[in-house]
């Protein structure tokens, strides 16, 4: 295989999906430890500082962790793993959804005591849109968790995906002894208290061995029976079903105890798919194509307070980035030479010399890059499937100092391009309406407006129930609608006509009255 295709085939690009507190941060740290990206556990910044008193502080701390770890790359067993961080707070779920469009697989972490939780269900639904292959890790085996068979059942019922246990836990809580691999017939023994280091893999070959009998003691026969039951009642691992997103291999372990994570990662780098092809409006693009292409899925400000700039995260879909190469910014139809793409290592930004399909690079954004933008080596491609969701909460935003309305507009425009909040300019007034998915985003907007744009803004309630993007094939009809409904129409930050419905009933009435007009709850970038 030529060098480039070899490098691409080695990439494993994924994100972790889980409910808050299931152990995402902890397992991330152990993965980095295994990948030699950090030396001692505890060096990934925790999000629960002792002074986290308000929601706002929590968010700042979460931003703290994102700053150091937006994209983590480490080599492992001949592969190159890219782990994309997603914000933990629900108010930033849009960001998470879009990050999931940039991965080829996902790791679902489940708290064994709590089972499948609400946030996990939502994120799985997003993964299903693209049939993303899912690995599952049932965490916290060092505690008394729920019956593993029941948990498997819940995964299947609630998440509508088949679960194929790869290893099976031997006891739990204080008596947790390790896991038994159903395919290799090896027991990996658990040693408590080794969470911060890379403990040796203590193996027992064969469930029939004397060592296995000694380990299990009086429980030996019961365990044999349990294993038989599990083998009979659960699904076999099947590569095709896994790659189609229909079946998930399930691993048990404890992230805090750094146990079971290595076994999972070993299989992950083997089984998880290399960079997959992507759909563009014009055609499908295969990762193996030599010409560079990629799309922006996330924009983050203040990656480094000293630089005060914004980084656009680009997923490379095909080919290779070389420092100093010429790219086409397709939406603007402009050629740009990029010599300063960055990545992040241990919290520091590093210039990227080269990166290949599957990798994520950070582009400096001086206001010309938006979420969903495609970059290529020349071809006019537009990647699809990067969603924008109608906000659920709305506020009118007002200035304390009316002289600063230019700064306010600029600030809001830039914040909306980052995708975390949306701004609407009503056709018939000079107000500005901010829409968000979560309450916390409003706080972020005022904080950042003050901090970065030096404008003090405050919110007022506004009578908006929901927003819908307006589409219509018929220009005449659209114009008529524009006139008749002008009081409810706005232009959003991306220049799209948007209907701000005051009530649910009003929206229903309008949809009925204007059958030629489409009112869409999502729009693609
Ligand atoms: P996140 O919100 O999903 O990132 O969860 P964290 O990684 O921050 O973990 C939430 C809490 O669960 C923390 O107090 C962790 O120390 C704890 N935790 C994580 N993994 C385990 C585990 O395997 N066993 C136990 N007992 N606690 C764990």
Percentage of residues in the chain having pLDDT higher than 90: 68
Ligand 1 touching residue 143 (CB < 6 A): yes
| Residue ranges covered by each domain of the chain | 16-55+107-271, 278-376, 390-524
Taking the centre of ligand 1 as the mean of its atom positions, its distance from the CA of residue 78, in whole angstroms, is 29
Minimum CA distance residue for ligand 1 atom 15: 23
State which CATH number among 3.40.50.2300, 3.40.50.720, 3.40.50.300, 1.10.287.130 fits the domain covering 278-376: 3.40.50.300
* 460 confidence band (pLDDT: 50, 70, 90): very high
Residue 305: the pLDDT is 58
Rounded distance, CA 452 to CA 308, Å?
A: 8
- pLDDT tens-place string over residues 56-78: 445 555 544 443 457 889 999 99
State the CATH class of domain 16-55+107-271.
Answer: alpha beta
Ligand 1 touching residue 23 (CB < 6 A): yes
Taking the centre of ligand 1 as the mean of its atom positions, its distance from the CA of residue 91, in whole angstroms, is 21
Q: Please tell me whether 88 is known to bind a ligand.
A: yes
Ligand 1 touching residue 21 (CB < 6 A): yes
**Pocket of ligand 1, candidates 17, 20, 26, 41: which has the most ligand atoms within 8 Å of its Cβ, to mutate?**
26
The 3-state DSSP class for residue 418 equals: coil
Q: Please tell me whether 82 is known to bind a ligand.
A: no
Same fold, 278-376 and 390-524: no
Rounded distance, CA 251 to CA 247, Å?
A: 13
Percentage of residues in the chain having pLDDT higher than 70: 90
Rounded distance, CA 336 to CA 314, Å?
A: 15
Predicted ipTM of the assembly: 0.99
CATH 3.30.360.10 is right for the domain spanning 390-524 = no
Residue 290: CB atoms within 10 Å: 12
Minimum CA distance residue for ligand 1 atom 19: 23
* 47 confidence band (pLDDT: 50, 70, 90): very low
Q: Please tell me whether 374 is known to bind a ligand.
A: no
Greater model confidence, 85 or 328? 328
Taking the centre of ligand 1 as the mean of its atom positions, its distance from the CA of residue 24, in whole angstroms, is 7
Q: The pTM is what?
A: 0.86
In 302-411, at which residue ranges do the beta strands (DSSP E only) sit? 310-318, 320-322, 325-329, 334-338, 342-345, 348-351, 354-356, 360-365, 374-376, 387-389, 393-399
Q: Please tell me whether 18 is known to bind a ligand.
A: yes
Taking the centre of ligand 1 as the mean of its atom positions, its distance from the CA of residue 260, in whole angstroms, is 15
Q: Please tell me whether 188 is known to bind a ligand.
A: no
**For residues 142 and 252, is the Cβ–Cβ distance under 8 A?**
no
């Amino acid at each position: 295989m030529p060098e480039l295709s070899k490098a691409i085939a080695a990439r494993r690009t994924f994100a972790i999906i889980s409910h808050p507190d299931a152990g995402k941060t902890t397992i991330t740290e152990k993965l980095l430890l295994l990948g030699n990206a950090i030396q001692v556990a505890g060096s990934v910044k925790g999000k629960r500082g002792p002074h986290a008193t308000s929601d706002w502080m929590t968010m700042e701390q979460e931003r703290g962790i994102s700053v150091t770890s937006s994209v983590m790359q480490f080599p492992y067993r001949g592969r190159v793993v890219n782990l994309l961080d997603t914000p933990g707070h629900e108010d930033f779920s849009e960001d998470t959804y879009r990050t999931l469009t940039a991965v080829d697989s996902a790791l679902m972490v489940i708290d064994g005591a709590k089972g499948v939780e609400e946030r996990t269900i939502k994120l799985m639904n997003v993964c299903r849109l693209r049939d993303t292959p899912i690995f599952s890790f049932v965490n916290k085996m060092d505690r008394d968790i729920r019956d593993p068979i029941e948990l498997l059942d819940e995964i299947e019922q609630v998440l509508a995906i088949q679960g194929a246990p790869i290893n099976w836990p031997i006891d739990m809580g204080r008596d947790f002894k390790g896991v038994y691999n159903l395919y290799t017939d090896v027991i990996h023994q658990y040693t408590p208290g080794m969470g911060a280091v890379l403990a040796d893999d203590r193996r027992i070959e064969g469930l029939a061995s004397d060592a296995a009998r000694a380990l299990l003691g009086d429980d030996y026969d019961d365990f044999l029976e349990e294993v038989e039951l599990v083998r009979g009642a659960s699904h076999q691992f099947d590569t095709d079903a896994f790659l189609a997103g229909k079946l998930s291999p399930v691993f048990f372990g404890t992230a805090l105890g750094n146990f079971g994570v290595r076994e999972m990662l070993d299989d992950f780098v083997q089984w998880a798919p290399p960079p997959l092809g992507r759909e563009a409006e014009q055609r499908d693009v295969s990762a193996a194509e030599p010409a560079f292409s990629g799309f922006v899925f996330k924009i983050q400000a203040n990656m480094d307070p000293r630089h005060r700039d914004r980084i656009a995260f680009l997923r490379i879909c095909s080919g290779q980035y070389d420092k100093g190469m010429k790219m086409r910014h397709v939406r603007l139809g402009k050629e740009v030479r990029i010599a300063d793409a960055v990545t992040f290592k241990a919290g520091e930004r590093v210039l990227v010399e080269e990166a290949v399909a599957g990798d994520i690079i950070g582009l400096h954004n001086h206001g010309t890059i938006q979420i969903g933008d495609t970059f290529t080596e020349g071809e006019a491609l537009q990647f699809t499937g990067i969603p924008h969701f109608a906000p659920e909460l709305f506020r009118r935003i007002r200035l304390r100092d009316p002289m600063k309305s230019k700064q306010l507009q600029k600030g809001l425009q830039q914040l909306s391009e980052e995708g975390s909040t949306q701004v609407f300019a009503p056709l018939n007034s000079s107000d500005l309406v901010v829409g968000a998915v979560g309450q916390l985003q409003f706080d972020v907007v005022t904080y950042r407006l003050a901090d970065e744009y030096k404008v003090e803004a405050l919110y007022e309630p506004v009578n908006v129930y929901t927003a819908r993007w307006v589409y219509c094939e018929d220009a005449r009809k659209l114009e008529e609608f524009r006139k008749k409904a002008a009081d409810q129409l706005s232009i959003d930050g991306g220049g799209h006509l948007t209907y701000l419905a005051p009530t649910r009933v009003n929206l229903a009435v309008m949809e009925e009255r204007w059958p030629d007009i489409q009112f869409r709850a999502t729009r693609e970038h």
